[in-house]
Amino acid sequence: MDFLCRFGCGGGVQVGVAPEETAVLTRWRKRSDNHVLVRIKAEAILHASRGVDVGIIAEMVKRAERTVQEWLADWRDTRMCSVPAGHAGNQNAAEPARARKQELKAVLARWPR
């Protein structure tokens, strides 16, 4: 039994994340200039990709379990596009910078459709 399973991964919802996506999500999680929600979603997706239980992820990111489940469902549907989000009518609030957009396009172009 691995370390995570001892602490409740029985209800874990694992999501698939390509190595290129992992690299982008990790950078988004570490950057301080990204919107807070982008960092939190990136962290949640990375934990879920490793099989961590949704309840534990929700505690770590201080969000409701239902919210984390919705983020993971969005990830399965739209992949990287699900992470940045607009707020309060400002659709550009959490969009990545131009270089990040190019990086994202390159990753999405490689992902099998």
In 3D space, the residue among 8, 81, 20 whose CA is nearest the CA of residue 51 turns out to be 8
pTM value is 0.65
- The pLDDT score that the predictor gives to residue 33 is 72
- pLDDT exceeding 70 applies to what percent of the chain? 73
Provide the β-strand partners of residue 53: 12
Tens digit of pLDDT per residue, the chain (113 long)? 344 444 444 456 678 888 888 998 998 888 877 688 889 999 999 999 999 999 999 999 999 999 999 999 988 888 888 787 655 445 454 555 677 777 888 888 886 65
